[in-house]
Amino acid sequence: MTKTDNKGITVKKAENFSEWYSQVIQKAKLADIRVGVQGFLVHRPWGFRIMRRVYEYLEEEFEKTEHEPMLFPIAVKEESLMKEEEHAGFSPEVFWVTHAGTRKLEERFALRPTGETQIYPVYSKWFRSYNELPFKAYQSRHTVFRNEMTTRPFLRGREFAFFESHNVFSTHKECLAQIDEDMDILNKVVKDKCKIPFFYFQRPQWDKFKGADNTFTPDTLMPDGKRNQLASTHDLGQNFSKAYDIQITDKKEKQQYAWQTCFGPGIWRIMAAIIGIHGDDNGLILPFDMAPKQIVLIPIFFKEKAEQNKVSKLLNKTKNDLTKKGYRVIIDDSENSPGFKFNHWELFGVPLRIEIGPRELKDNKATIVRRTSRDKTVINIKDLDKSIEKEAKKLDEDITKNAEKYFSDNVRDSNDFKDLKKIMNKNRGFVRVPFCSVDFDGEDCADTLKAETNGGNVCGTLFPKAEKVGPKEKCIICGKKAHHKVYVAKSY
């Protein structure tokens, strides 16, 4: 580490979130966009380790719910991509492979934009009877490709990290139960592990996933007040099984089309939320279990060489002891000043800092600092393990409290269209409004809202329990009787 590695964040998060976000990604070494092709990036080690934790959390929860891992190739046949009429809309976003070297291929193929059109033709060969179902499977740690015109690291790209499950059932009732299970997984991973608050929405019919009967999404808010869709889970009904001929024999020995769900937690979007929501003007703030290094040990040296050796010896012993207990620990014994080291590891979001110098050594003490508060607490070395547990718990509580406060402070109500436009221009965030319909006959009102609020979207109704509408409430757009309470926000 040299002093040129870290010049710190030069803007305030609250004043210029876009620039703050870009600087954190660059200076905390999360990703590098300098690959020469727009929309593609390098996941640097520190960022990749954080992102890998999200994958690990998801894989653990999916396997607890009896999902099996699988991995399909990157190539998708053109015939398969076009077979489902609803998915023809993906074509403008698809990257096509047309040549092998200088030789033109007889049949071009696509780089997968998502898994359905690739996986379901194979599913049609796997299942014949209800006895083989349910089949629950996921594929993890792979990427998908879409020709996005506007790109931003961890929010939108042309190649991005992906996770998806694709399940097959004998009945629609099992699909609905799977949607509930997906929601439970999101709560355990996104809310409990990553400390990200969100609303769970049922999307309007005009804004559901292509080919689905219904789509459900967990949506959070970034510090600029824009909605970040963290994942999506879809009740596919029998739409894809009919398109790809996934038929089974039921208990009455009759042929029927299978029922399906698919689920896509947004690895990148979750990563963006961790960076944006938890971070502060000094850089990243990470939940204790997510941090690549959970504890940094920093020596406070004076001039005496003998004291330096004693401090170094204690630090190495402390690191070994903590590592044996399962903590991820690093010693910063570089020649940089203590102040520089403090700022450096705060930028990288290391949850706890432990300082030991000659004074602490003399009194058998250590100074521990929590990333969220930056307050210094002097503790006895023999109590270090208990103190780490205590401070780690406080850190996670701080992160959760701060995130939930920001989220709740940015949810507002409006019953007047002029008032709604003022809120969305000044405050952004979620605005709860009365709305005529989330079926297709409400789409015109949604289009009007989007046009007159410079990009506001109807996110949907709360799920699983939608909020009631008063008998006299009118749609905020058309003035007709309101049948739903919907949440409106500007989006990435």
Q: Are residues 350 and 207 in the same domain?
A: no
Is 4 a member of any domain?
A: no
Residue 155 located in a structural domain:
yes
- pLDDT of res. 417: 97
Mark whether 218 and 165 lie in a shared domain. Answer: yes
Q: Quickly list DSSP for 271-299.
A: HHHHHHHH-BTTB----TTT-SSSEEEEE
Q: Is the pLDDT of residue 6 over 70?
A: no
pTM of the complete model? 0.95
pLDDT, greater one: 5 or 77: 77
The pLDDT value recorded for residue 2 is: 43
pLDDT at 303: 67
Q: What is the pLDDT of residues 24-35, one digit of tens each?
A: 999 999 999 999
Domain contains 15: no
Contact 220, 197 (CB under 8 A): yes
Contact 283, 291 (CB under 8 A): no
Q: Are residues 303 and 438 in the same domain?
A: no
Better-scored residue on pLDDT, 100 or 90: 100
Looking at the chain, the whole-number percentage of residues with pLDDT higher than 70 is: 97
Q: pLDDT tens digits, residue range 34-66?
A: 999 999 999 999 999 999 999 999 999 999 999
My answer on whether 81 and 211 are in the same domain is yes
Average pLDDT over residues 352-374: 91
**Parallel, antiparallel or unpaired: strands 365-370 and 42-43:** unpaired
Q: Quick: pLDDT tens for 228-241.
A: 999 999 999 999 99
Contacts 24+ apart (CB under 8 A), 465-470: 466/202, 467/432, 469/434, 470/434
Whether residue 355 is predicted with pLDDT greater than 50 in this model: the reply is yes
pLDDT at 4: 39
Among 280, 387, 376, 296, residue whose Cα is nearest residue 336: 296
272/306 same-domain check: no
- Residue 386 and residue 332 share a domain: yes
- Quick one: 159 and 262 in the same domain? yes
Determine the residue type at 68.
E
* Residues 6 or more apart whose Cβ sits within 8 Å of residue 103: none
Q: Would you state the pLDDT for residue 3? A: 45
Residues 218 and 264: their CA atoms lie apart, in Å, by 11
Q: What is the CATH number of the domain that holds 464?
A: 3.30.110.30
| Secondary structure string (H, E, C) spanning 132-160 | HCCEEEEEEEEEEECCCCCCECCCECCEE
pLDDT of residue 275 exceeding 90: yes
Q: What is the pLDDT of residues 134-188, one digit of tens each?
A: 999 999 999 999 999 889 999 999 999 999 999 999 999 999 999 999 999 999 9
